[in-house]
Structure 1
């Protein structure tokens, strides 16, 4: 299966374009944003857990990155309400579930094989945010392969003040504007290396997940 699989091209999916598809597990649906592979895939998705739904224990050979968007996502290691960022390195396993229901942003099989760092950050905690001018940043992960953060921009602030090696973002609140296109809450955008001065925060500002640098070099090996 190939969805937005040419990483040299821009890609975008707005919330009104979501197409929810059933997963192999009852009560769990997903929107496939990009994907290379079948059930074992290099994949970026929005995943929705119905109340009392769960997955059996399974491994993530290529790692797993999660941002909880709503509800409470859980596994045997803890409960993670909206705003939690989780990073499970390659080779880890868990049995995820949600008692009340949850929506999460998930990236699978996109970490280098030697990554070993587990990350748990509550982005709703004021202490994890840092201000600089019209921009607030919540650092989530920095490695040789990528940089990940949340950002809040005041209205009219340019998203990228300079060229980027590559960028991927998910709008969490407010909107980003590029020309006549408005990317509201839930919009996912992936951009190859270049300059993007047209992307600015909308009239109410914008808060978004941002990953940079990850498409500038060799991608992790895609599962067969």
Structure 2
């Protein structure tokens, strides 16, 4: 991993970075253990989870806005996906309190801010150009549906092609059957402790399982996770075919 930042005339410039950029590899971070790093705008800090590029990059991050901070107007050439974790995130189209799920499609632009401060999970430059639906979902006032096994509840958020995004709530002691992810899986643990045969992941954990991976998840204590599946490119076998 190569990463660097430099202060020039009061601005923070992010040089090219490769952080968990190989999507064919499993990745894991306890975000609580990461330092907050400055963004180019005063009062806006980030914990970077994966990144490929410079300041405009394919990236997954936690972003923290201090009260009264704002970001300059900018466009999203590859789209933007947000889950508001704390506080209230805002732009010229509205205010989005904790629990709001947002999708701003490819080509959209806005000037985000937060009067009271907020923390968001944000993914940039990772949408299909044909996925042009803007979404604003209040997950605190939405209908959950039963999952595939007893003890699971699911709140579907978005689907496009093979990509599916949802919140999943695990009752204590829930166990899911072994299963694979042909298009990969990405998880952020919102509360409780999520588990599989590779480890235990408390609230704040981010993990990405590559295409073709298999696991058997459970939760002894119960948990709620944000989960996205089917969005990663298929792994290529040595002969060029999909593994």
TM-score, with normalisation over the residues of structure 1?
0.91
Q: Does 1:50 align with 2:69?
A: no
Conserved 8 A contact 1:87-1:120: yes
State how far apart, in whole Å, the 2-side matches of 1:159 and 1:27 are: 41
| Alpha-carbon distance change, 180 to 44 in structure 1, aligned in 2, over 3 angstroms | closer
- Please state whether the residue corresponding to 2:32 is helix, strand or coil: helix
| Residues 81-133 of structure 1: per-residue CA shift (max 9 Å, x gap) | 000000000000011000000000000000112221111100001x4211243
Conserved 8 A contact 1:63-1:109: yes
State how far apart, in whole Å, the 1-side matches of 2:180 and 2:98 are: 31
The alpha-carbon deviation at position 180 of structure 1 amounts to 7.5
Q: Does 1:150 align with 2:167?
A: yes
In structure 1, list runs of 5 or more residues that go unmatched.
219-224
In structure 2, list runs of 5 or more residues that go unmatched.
1-16, 236-243
Conserved 8 A contact 2:31-2:47: no
What is aligned with 1:8?
24
Counting matched residue pairs gives 215
State how far apart, in whole Å, the 2-side matches of 1:159 and 1:175 are: 15
Q: Does 1:25 align with 2:44?
A: no
What is aligned with 1:189?
207
Conserved 8 A contact 1:44-1:106: yes
Q: Alignment partner for residue 208 of structure 1, among 225, 230, 239?
A: 225
- Within a 5 Å distance, the mapping from 1:17-166 to structure 2 comes to 17-125=33-141, 127-132=142-147, 133-158=150-175, 161-165=178-182, 166=184
- Please state whether the residue corresponding to 1:100 is helix, strand or coil: coil
| Residues 15-58 of structure 1: per-residue CA shift (max 9 Å, x gap) | 33212110000000001100000101000000000000001111
| Residues 170-195 of structure 1: per-residue CA shift (max 9 Å, x gap) | 00010112348321111100001221
- Please state whether the residue corresponding to 2:200 is helix, strand or coil: strand
Q: 110-119 vs 61-70, which deviates more?
A: 110-119
TM-score, with normalisation over the residues of structure 2?
0.84
Root-mean-square deviation (CA, aligned residues, Å) is 1.6
State how far apart, in whole Å, the 2-side matches of 1:180 and 1:189 are: 11
- Structure number with greater Rg is 2
Q: Does 1:173 align with 2:174?
A: no
| Alpha-carbon distance change, 96 to 146 in structure 1, aligned in 2, over 3 angstroms | same
